[in-house]
Chains A and B, each alone.
Chain A
């Protein structure tokens, strides 16, 4: 096991940032800590790095207790959201910093340092800028320097705190893919913090969902997306339509027609916008009548807002642009929608604050 976190607790004043966290991070994998702001994900990362000391519990690195080890002896590489490059040093000196400050006995020779730094800079594709200063680089370039700097000391664990959070959308996309590629090359045990589910799904081997200082679910991106354990995780992983309904027929889900049927226990029905299909006519009698009250074209998808005349519920559908065009749908049309997939949670399942 790479990193084992046992019973870790941390509070700031009256605010509980981490509540009895137990987590195993496998060696050589890229793990994402995903959660809304205030969920404790950054605190957990900083506890792993040693930048924050847990109030209780222990953290083991590769079987060795590292709870009380000072930061500088932990062998972690840390990448900050705002790069934290030393701005009075050149790019080269930034990357060489961790090697040059070593005590004489373990410090590599001058030529060795130069060779290593250039190799790292070549790997992050900024070797040509070695003699520039951080102020002359773009955000994406700065973050790549920060990564090279963190890797220069050959850490056993690489920790990244919202590494792409300060970058614009296109650069973020690019760097995500590049981080994944880099990880596939190096296989260093890595943990990164993000609040962006798309980023976690795209980059990580495993995702840890945090909420209010506790872990909600741990799993591969597929597991998390396909089988969210509770409404919080479901809602956090994407947009969702929520019905409080009672089932008249067939309680198993997809085929049942959700209606307000009195006498049955209420359930919550979660439907992703892309699991809703629009039709002109109710061909098989399973459709629900609705009116398109607004639509917005988003690239190759169309976001459609529907209103059911019977119950007055608002539903968001997300259909592909071709269907939208071929069927000649438009705002104010009367249509029927069908639910292709839904998830049902009983009222006792963990509730969340994220209801649209």
Chain B
């Protein structure tokens, strides 16, 4: 439909639009991508390898992966629960809840980070209690995990809710009438129906968990080698004019991003195919 409409426009419009688009993509996406990799390898492969293998970068990779390992499963479970509750039941406050899911997207990540400092920091609401228990949340791993959880919370629920609404309740009800328990229904029926959408949400969650900067920067306290995730380390290295090292680390994140994009596209294809089957 759209294509035929555009086809009726004078050909010059198409040429202009396409040129503008490609120029835009080139300047804002392609050139930066090339720059990252060319800068990373500028001083040779040996320097690149050394930069990646430095204890600081290695420990930040470890921290980043730990955060992802903690946050992605948790938010997957939360997301499924939330989508389930919203699509299968009706209850008071449902529309408010549906809107609140979007909050982490609406609020600036820095504010999300600040929120946790205000709650759990030494001067925060729970600060004294936590100190008396000898529990450290802010400027430590739990704080980073909390901030990341908050920022990546919406992805799974947001991909699942429209999908589950479209699929409807028939399959689950059929399973129930055949004698299935709630768990059996979820694992044998629901999970299969939502698997591609769920994977899609998980991939987005993972990408954001690894790449988050703002919220994590506030709660991490930037203790080098201890609370610096990969994006934070890149920032620090860059600030110290260690360009090769910064770009070497950045190339790692970029590779991850490209991989995520490829997986995301694959998931979208699978989702489409399921839709056709349905």
Chain A positions near chain B (C-beta within 8 angstroms): 49, 51, 71-74, 76-78, 80, 82, 84-88, 97-98, 101-102, 135, 146, 149-150, 152-153
Contacts and interface: CB of A to CB of B under 8 A. Distances in A.
B271 to A, nearest CB: 14
Nearest to A75: B179
Contacts of B192: 86, 88
Contact of B177 (A71, A88, A102): A71
A72 B176 contact: yes
Contacts of A88: 192-193
A72 B277 contact: no
A72 B180 contact: yes
Interface string B171-204: 1011111111100100011001100000000000
B180 A78 contact: no
Contact of A51 (B176, B180, B277): B176
A78 B174 contact: yes
B8 interface: no
A333 B140 CA distance: 96
Contact of A153 (B173, B179, B188, B277): B179
Contacts of B166: none
A80 B176 contact: no
Interface residues of B, number: 18
Given A84-B171, A87-B277, A78 B177 contact: yes
Contacts of B175: 86, 97, 101
B170 A97 contact: no
Contacts, number: 64
Given A97-B178, A98-B178, A80 B173 contact: yes
Given A72-B179, A76-B177, A135-B277, 14 more contacts: A71-B177, A72-B177, A73-B179, A74-B177, A78-B177, A80-B173, A84-B174, A87-B278, A98-B178, A98-B180, A101-B175, A101-B181, A101-B184, A153-B179
Contacts of A77: 177
Contacts of A73: 179
B277 A86 contact: no
Nearest to A155: B177
Contacts of B193: 87-88
Most buried by A among B173, B179, B181, B192: B179
A254 B221 CA distance: 96
Contacts of A150: 177-178
A71 B176 contact: yes
A86 B171 CA distance: 7
B36 to A, nearest CB: 41
Contacts of A87: 193, 277-278
18 contacts: A51-B173, A71-B176, A71-B177, A72-B177, A72-B178, A78-B173, A80-B170, A80-B174, A86-B175, A86-B192, A88-B192, A88-B193, A97-B175, A98-B179, A101-B175, A101-B178, A101-B180, A149-B174
A149 B178 contact: yes
Question: What 6 pairs between A and B have smallest CB-CB spacing?
Answer: A98-B178, A84-B170, A78-B177, A84-B174, A88-B192, A71-B176
Nearest to A88: B192
